[in-house]
Structure 1
Amino acid sequence: MNAILLDDEPLALRSLEHQLKRFEGVNIIGTFSLPAHAVAAAEELQPDVAFIDIDMPEMNGIQVAEKLQTINESMVIVFVTAYDEYAVKAFELNALDYVLKPVQPLRLKQTVDRLQKEILNIRQTPLMVEEEPEPVVRVQCAGTMNIFGRDGEPLSWRTSKSRELFAYLVYKRGQPVRKEALLELLWPDSDEKKGFTHMYTTIYRLRKTFEGASLNIRLLNSGDGYWLRNEGLQVDTQEWEEAIGKLPPLTAKSADDYQRRFDAYPGDYLCEHDYIWSQGELERLRSLCYRHGMELCRYWTNEGFSKKAVDMYERLLQQYPYSEEIYEALIEHFVNEGQHALAQQQYDQLAGMMCTEYDSQPSESAKRLLNRIHRVME
Structure 2
Amino acid sequence: MKTVIVDDEHLALRRMEKLLQEEGGSRPALELVGFFQDPHLALELVKREKIDLVFLDIEMPEIGGMELAERLLEIQPHLHIVFVTAYNDFAVEAFELNALDYLLKPVQRDRIIKTLQRLNHSEAKGMSDMTDKKPMLCCLSGLHYLDDHQAAQSFQWRTLKAQELFAYLIHHRGQTVRKEVIMDLLWPDYDMDKASALLHTTIYQIRRVIKQKGLGIKVTYKDEGYRIELDGMKLDVEEWEKGVQTTSAVTPETIRQHRELLILYRGDYLEEHQYWWSEGEQERIRLIWLDHAKQVAEYLMQEEQYSEAVPLYQKIQEKFPYTEDGYFGLMKIYANIGDYSGVKNQYQLLVENMKEELGVEPSEEVNDWYQQWRHCI
Shorter-chain TM-score bucket reads: 0.5 to 0.7
CA pair 157-287 structure 1, distance change in 2 beyond 3 A: same
Cα deviation code 1:294-318 (max 9, x no counterpart): 0112233445656654454234334
Segments of structure 1 that go 5 or more residues without pairing to the other structure are 1-134
Distance across 2 between alignment mates of 1:213 and 1:297 = 39
Alignment of 1:1-378 (within 5 A): 138-146=136-144, 153-302=153-302, 308-332=308-332, 334=334, 340-358=340-358, 360-377=360-377
CA-to-aligned-CA distance 1:228-255 (integer Å, 9 cap, x gap): 1112433333332233233123222112
CA RMSD of aligned residues (A): 3.2
Residue 4 of structure 2: aligned partner: none
Compute the displacement of 1:272 (Å). 1.8
Amino acid of the structure 1 residue aligned with 2:223: G
User: Offset of 1:191 from its aligned partner?
Assistant: 2.7
Contact kept, 8 Å, 1:137 with 1:232, in 2: the verdict is no
Secondary structure of residue in 1 paired with 2:219? strand
Cα deviation code 1:194-248 (max 9, x no counterpart): 2222222211222233334544321011212111111243333333223323312
What is the TM-score with the length of structure 1 in the denominator? 0.55
Which residue identity is paired with 2:350?
L
Classify 1:136/1:191 alpha carbon distance in 2 versus 1 (closer, same or farther; 3 Å).
farther
Distance 2:365 2:280 in 1: 29
2:226 partner SS: strand
Q: 2: CA distance between counterparts of 1:338 and 1:212?
A: 57
- Superposed displacement of residue 169, structure 1: 1.0
Query: Identical aligned pairs, as a percentage?
Result: 31
Give me the whole-angstrom Cα distance separating, in 1, the residues matched to 2:313 and 2:329. Answer: 8
The answer to whether the 8 A contact 2:176-2:223 is kept is no
Give the unaligned 5+ runs of structure 2. Answer: 1-132
Counterpart code for 1:182: I
Say if 1:211 and 1:310 are closer, same or farther in 2 by CA, change over 3 A. closer
Work out which of the two has the higher radius of gyration on C-alpha atoms and give 1 or 2.
1
For residues 291 and 176 of structure 2, what CA distance do their matches in structure 1 show? 31
Q: Return the TM-score normalized by structure 2.
A: 0.55
1:263, distance to aligned residue in structure 2 (A): 2.6
Distance in 2 between the 1:136 and 1:260 partners?
16
Do the aligned partners of 2:294 and 2:325 also contact (CA within 8 Å) in 1? Answer: no
Give the 3 Å change call, closer, same or farther, for CA 225–304 of structure 1 in structure 2: same
